Amino acid sequence: MTRHKCFISFKFEDKTKIQANKNIDMIDKSLNEPIDSDNPDYVMQKIRDDNLKDSSVTIFLIGSVSAEIIGEKEQYYIKKELQASLYHSLNQVKLL
């Protein structure tokens, strides 16, 4: 069975259970540390280059804090990661 490279889009508070589950056989391509930048274009470029580029599966965790609104902003990076993942998958042909 092929182990998939999985990018997990999440709020840090929601991800611990899936990473701790030893029954899930995957190569975790998600972020474990935030990218040290206030520039959203730079952050998304790093995510695309370092995490999404060779991922074969994207998992979006919707948990207790994923939908929270911080001030006037909604979850900017979760939306951008979804867009980048969809764009990436449309430009890749993979047979699973």
Alpha helices in the chain (DSSP H): 16-20, 40-47, 76-90
What's the pLDDT score for residue 90? 58
* Statement: the pTM of the whole predicted model exceeds 0.75: no
CB count within 10 Å of CB 21 equals 9
What's the pLDDT score for residue 94? 45
Q: What are the φ and ψ backbone dihedral angles of 53, each rounded to 5 degrees?
A: -55, -45
Q: Coil, helix or strand for 81?
A: helix
* Of 75 and 6, the one with more pLDDT: 6
Tokens of 9: 């889009």
Q: Considering only CA atoms, which of 60, 3, 1, 2 is closest in space to residue 30?
A: 60
- In tens, the pLDDT along 15-27 reads 677 777 777 778 8
Confidence of residue 60 (pLDDT cuts 50, 70, 90): confident
